[in-house]
Structure 1
């Protein structure tokens, strides 16, 4: 009995020590821009606290330091083709950049060398996003070339990639595809991946086993036109996630363009209905804030939420395509001919 009470007392003490995170009421930001000529940048990924890698629309891949210094920049041309990159991922071994359009070319950038590790030729081919689960397992997604999404997997750290046959995937609806707006069509937590779509349908495709099996869920996000749907997804844990989007031809429309889930994407609740932010191209949780602090960007500006996306504050009029958050105090952004470092206070 004494032992039981002791363990119970220890449990109570440790439980009492755990405190809920209290989010900041608001934030102020400063943005330092670094200009990159003749390229549009929708794919960036954090390498470490002081640098990031980017891939642009003019066949350019590079690393930029926190001081704005470019290093190890590559300009790629393959058989007169200048690849337009909107998807980028990396593991400890290499960076991977995937081009949009026909042919789809997936490049490995390792030890300052460039190699093509996957090529797909099809009149409908168009890849939107890619990400790694871990050092060996990666995933890329794109628009359908048949009656399913195009989904690539690697099991060897990116050395080889293969496309999942349509018989192993849920069927796509007519007019359903994806948007290569910010390289955030895919969110990963552990072995889970969530992929978002738009167009005539705006849905969630979910795998809990790194791409072996799939489920598909409906969402309330605006849909029905080629330009409507989900543009970005992020998950804080296996249950809590957020999706954002809208209609890029109506960037000031804000009906049914933000939603949150607490059950792993099975059901969604529209938030901040008819309130800012309006069209959103990228949404990301801020690390170490218990999933309460969130940032969203578009060409309309930068927006902050301190209650998991329920309500938002505009913190900058500067427009960007995408954002990656290093910490509570640092984030990186990119846009047309621009990479920027954002300090958050």
Structure 2
């Protein structure tokens, strides 16, 4: 699964380098506030991140902010062959319950989606390593809703449309095209969609950096890519057909757009960078006002692994933490310009009702 000679997918690059990265990161202590120095009076970062460690052996890249009180995080073990875990809080992050499915040794949970009482977690990887688990009771019990049986497929991200009845997952290219998996019954069953409506995407892929290389807004779905090309693909028919346009973020073997967020089908932001040179933060953001054409925004001062809107379509937060490129930034003009608001950074960020949650390396979670 770890191929350093020829990188089949950036997810493999991350998997291979994370244990070494974890050893290089500074230890995190008790919960505390982290260096909030952005625009005064702009929530949620007047006081920075309040951080705690849930399990130092976990690398968290999956995150779902359900409400001010409830959030879910998912990860992978930094110990070779260790279990991938799922945690849930319902008391504003004061306590977290381990709600991990059984038999997750060696898996990598990179995405979690929650709609009402139904939760899904996505395990990434080649062949049978790619799986989707489903729970309807807050994680007390799980069923395996999908297991990939194609060794050429490698699922990276998952997203549901509003209401949670219909959803999609995206795989790295199979026979030259990104593969789309679809559900229409709240994740009980999944099917591979025909590839006829997918443009040529050979050597182009989604990054499993934060679970947001595939996102939805209204009836539209968007895939953020890197590799041979750095593009944003859009579908308005539940994943059957897609159009692709350049994001403007530079492409590369480990570079491109890493995550996207959409306040509506017209208003979106993409962030990214280069995992092979994470400290090169030039051209790491792009924005759209029509959902179809993209303009580069100002540069972040850190890698952009994830982005989310805080409220409306103007205020959004971006974060990242890879190979010493660390921080959190805020935009109040819909992605045109960015201001660093914290020296703490994470792999994933999600906001609801002006409260932001974050998840990152060595079992760290933040609330801002």
- Give the TM-score normalised by the residue count of structure 1: 0.84
CA distance in 1, matches of 2:305, 2:93: 26
Q: In angstroms, what is the RMSD of aligned CA positions?
A: 1.9
Decide whether the 8 Å contact of 1:66 with 1:341 is kept in 2: no
> Residue 341 of structure 1: CA displacement?
3.5
Q: Does 1:307 align with 2:333?
A: yes
- For this pair of structures, how many residues does the alignment match? 311
Shift of the 176–30 alpha-carbon distance from structure 1 to 2, 3 Å rule, reads: same
Unmatched tracts of structure 2, length 5 or more: 1-38, 77-82
Decide whether the 8 Å contact of 2:49 with 2:342 is kept in 1: no
User: Which residue of the other structure, out of 16, 31, 51, is the alignment partner of 1:33?
Assistant: 51
1:29 counterpart SS class? coil
Q: Does 1:257 align with 2:275?
A: no
CA distance in 1, matches of 2:184, 2:177: 21
2:125 counterpart SS class? coil
> Residue 94 of structure 1: CA displacement?
1.8
Deviations 1:2-40 (A, max 9, x none): xxxxxxxxxxxxxxxxxxxxx977552332222122111
Decide whether the 8 Å contact of 2:271 with 2:304 is kept in 1: yes
Alignment of 1:314-325 (within 5 A): 314-325=340-351
Deviations 1:242-285 (A, max 9, x none): 11101012122122221111121x2111111xx43342001111
Runs ≥4 residues deviating over 6 A? none
CA distance in 1, matches of 2:257, 2:48: 28
> Residue 209 of structure 1: CA displacement?
2.2
Tell me the residue number matched to 2:106.
82
CA distance in 1, matches of 2:117, 2:148: 23
CA distance in 2, matches of 1:276, 1:172: 27
Decide whether the 8 Å contact of 2:54 with 2:365 is kept in 1: no
Moved more, 142-151 or 26-35: 26-35
Tell me the residue number matched to 1:177.
205
Tell me the residue number matched to 1:243.
270
Larger C-alpha radius of gyration, 1 or 2? 1
CA distance in 1, matches of 2:306, 2:174: 25
Tell me the residue number matched to 2:314.
292
> Residue 118 of structure 1: CA displacement?
0.9
Decide whether the 8 Å contact of 2:198 with 2:240 is kept in 1: no
Tell me the residue number matched to 1:19.
none
Decide whether the 8 Å contact of 1:147 with 1:166 is kept in 2: no
Q: Does 1:61 align with 2:61?
A: no
Q: Does 1:126 align with 2:154?
A: yes
1:284 counterpart SS class? strand
Tell me the residue number matched to 1:11.
none
Deviations 1:218-259 (A, max 9, x none): 221101x21110001111222111111010121221222211
CA distance in 2, matches of 1:119, 1:213: 24
CA distance in 1, matches of 2:219, 2:362: 35
1:98 counterpart SS class? strand
Shift of the 286–167 alpha-carbon distance from structure 1 to 2, 3 Å rule, reads: same
User: Which residue of the other structure, out of 121, 124, 129, is the alignment partner of 1:100?
Assistant: 124
Decide whether the 8 Å contact of 1:144 with 1:172 is kept in 2: yes
Deviations 1:123-161 (A, max 9, x none): 333222111102310111121132211211100011000
Unmatched tracts of structure 1, length 5 or more: 1-22
Shift of the 312–109 alpha-carbon distance from structure 1 to 2, 3 Å rule, reads: same
> Residue 339 of structure 1: CA displacement?
4.0
